[in-house]
Amino acid sequence: MSNRITREFLESLTDEEIQIILDYIREKKKSAEQSPAVVPVSAVLVNTEDKTHTGVLRCPYCQGTFIRKNGSNTTKRGRVQKYYCHHCEKNFCETTGTILYRAKVTGEQIQGMIDNEISKMTLRDEAYYNEVSVTTAFRIRHLLHEAAGKVQSKEILNGLTEVDSTYTKINLAGTKPEKMPRLSKKRGKGIPLVGKRLAGSSHHKICLVTAIDENDDMIFRVAGLGHESAEMYQKQIGYFGEDVKVISDGCKSISKFAESNGYNLDAIKVRPGKKSFKTEEGNTLSTVNQLHQELAETISAKHGISTRHLQGELDWITYRKKTRYRYNRSFQMEHMYEELMHTGNPTIRDDQIKAKMPISLYHAYREYQYGIYAYGDPDGNVIENQLDR
């Protein structure tokens, strides 16, 4: 006897039998959608060369399971299967929701770039070892940094938390000459400022807020220009949990931040003529100082970091450091590849090159009255908009 359902068979069913079948279909559909073992379609192909997977395919848009194959595309990475979702009526492919979406590189090349970024290689070396152009290596690097930023944006600090700040110079690498707010600085040569010597240079430095808790969760954020302030720390309040105990060096801005948010504070007391490295409870800032040192080493290894891409680099430093704390070197690349792969579709590649400055160049260089700020602008709105084009 054939198990195939025919039109004649359906027409022979009574209304009661049809209702039983409909109830059965609804129950099966409901249990499939609520099943915890279902794997999202964005997680189906970790390695696009390996087309085997377990679990049930889901639509990355509505998480529905009523999908079908809908042809395929031929790319440099081979044939990519396409799907159609009957729930939301949208098309998607195997790489939708992954960093390989519309990428012209293979999963192996992405893995190679991750391994090179762990080792702090220069861009040209990464391009050479992965057999891609320098431009492609640049785009992959910032694609990985963007994915790491999405992972790090979910960090919540709890328990004993070391909080401190550090500073770095504004780096205008990649800025076109006609958009420069100051004279270009030649390596190894000091160039005087335009006009008279200006007093103070605090607003020419970028303040970076750092914090690490006892669980090795950490943040490294661009806070703004000039000296650290309570307002700079308050901007990062979304990363702090309710049971944080702040460990600091006695900075007034950190003390004010902790007090305004009801956090317990354990600060290093300053004693005249003596160097103090521990709080009264025996806590130090050694871990957060290591993070500052890692930034200095990365800047040296990569011959500088453009301010335009500074936050992405900071996200990668914290993500790499957290991974290093939890995995041996032989497993770090595999873990990072698995985790970064499913952070969603990356932004348009051109947005990586034209990323906006995380700080206001107008407030940093307006007194120079040079280049794009030669004629000044009391508000800076028009000039800053032109700079970001």
Q: What SS3 string covers 260-329?
A: HCCCEEEECCCECCECCCCCCCCCCCHHHHHHHHHHHHHHHHCCCCCHHHHHHHHHHHHHHHHHHHHCCH
Question: How many Å apart are CA 77 and CA 49, to the nearest integer?
Answer: 8
**In the predicted model, is pLDDT for residue 239 greater than 90?**
yes
Among residues of the chain, what percentage have pLDDT more than 90? 34
pLDDT-derived band of residue 29, with 50, 70 and 90 as boundaries?
Answer: low
pLDDT at 51: 35
Residue 300's Cβ-count burial label (10 Å; 0-12, 13-18, 19+) is: exposed
Those residues whose C-beta lies under 8 Å from the C-beta of residue 119, and which sit 6 or more positions away, are none
Mean pLDDT of 252-278: 86
CA distance 69 to 51: 14
pLDDT band at residue 235 using 50, 70 and 90 as cut-offs: very high
pLDDT higher at 383 or 179 = 179
The predicted structure's pLDDT at residue 313: 94
Question: Tokens standing for 276?
Answer: 């103090």
Residues 256, 294: Cα–Cα separation, whole Å: 28
d(CA 389, CA 177): 14
Instruction: Tokens 């970024």: give the residue.
Output: 117
Stretch 312-321: mean pLDDT: 94
Tell me, rounded to whole angstroms, the distance of Cα 302 from its chain centroid: 19
In the DSSP assignment, the letter for residue 103 is -
d(CA 40, CA 55): 9
Position 295 pLDDT exceeds 90 = yes
Strands (E), the chain: 67-75, 78-85, 91-93, 157-169, 205-213, 218-225, 240-248, 264-267
Q: Tens of pLDDT along 356-377?
A: 889 988 888 888 888 888 765 5
Q: What is the pLDDT of residue 314?
A: 95
Q: What are the strands of the beta sheet with 67-75, ordered from one edge?
A: 67-75, 78-85, 91-93
pLDDT band at 193 (very low <50, low <70, confident <90, very high): very low
How far is it, in rounded angstroms, from Cα 191 to Cα 44? 55
| Residue 381 reports pLDDT greater than 60 | no
Confidence at 290, pLDDT banded by 50, 70, 90: very high
Residue type at 361 in one-letter notation: L
Q: Which of 64-68, 84-88, 153-157, 274-278 has the highest mean pLDDT?
A: 153-157
Identify the CA nearest to 347 among candidates 317, 373, 319, 309. Answer: 309
Tokens, residue 167:
């500073």
From 13-17, 112-116, 162-166, 240-244, the region with the lowest mean pLDDT: 13-17
Cβ atoms of 263 and 245 within 8 Å: the answer is yes
pLDDT of the residue at 320: 94
| The pair of three-digit structure tokens given for residue 267, joined into one six-digit string | 């600060």
Give the pLDDT confidence score for residue 39 in this predicted structure.
37
d(CA 375, CA 174): 23
Provide mean pLDDT across the span 7-11. 79
Query: Tokens 């098309």 correspond to what residue?
Result: 91
Mean per-residue pLDDT over the chain, rounded: 80
Instruction: Walk across the sheet containing 157-169 and list its strands.
Output: 218-225, 205-213, 157-169, 240-248, 264-267
Residues whose CB falls within 8 Å of the CB of residue 359, separated by 6 or more in sequence, listed in order: 170, 206, 222, 224, 225, 307
Residue 48 has a pLDDT of 35
> In terms of pLDDT, which residue wins out, 16 or 118?
118
pLDDT of residue 384: 44
pLDDT tens column, 337-354: 988 888 877 766 666 667
Domain boundaries, the chain: 7-93, 359-389
The reported pLDDT for the residue numbered 78 is 67
DSSP classification of residue 134: H
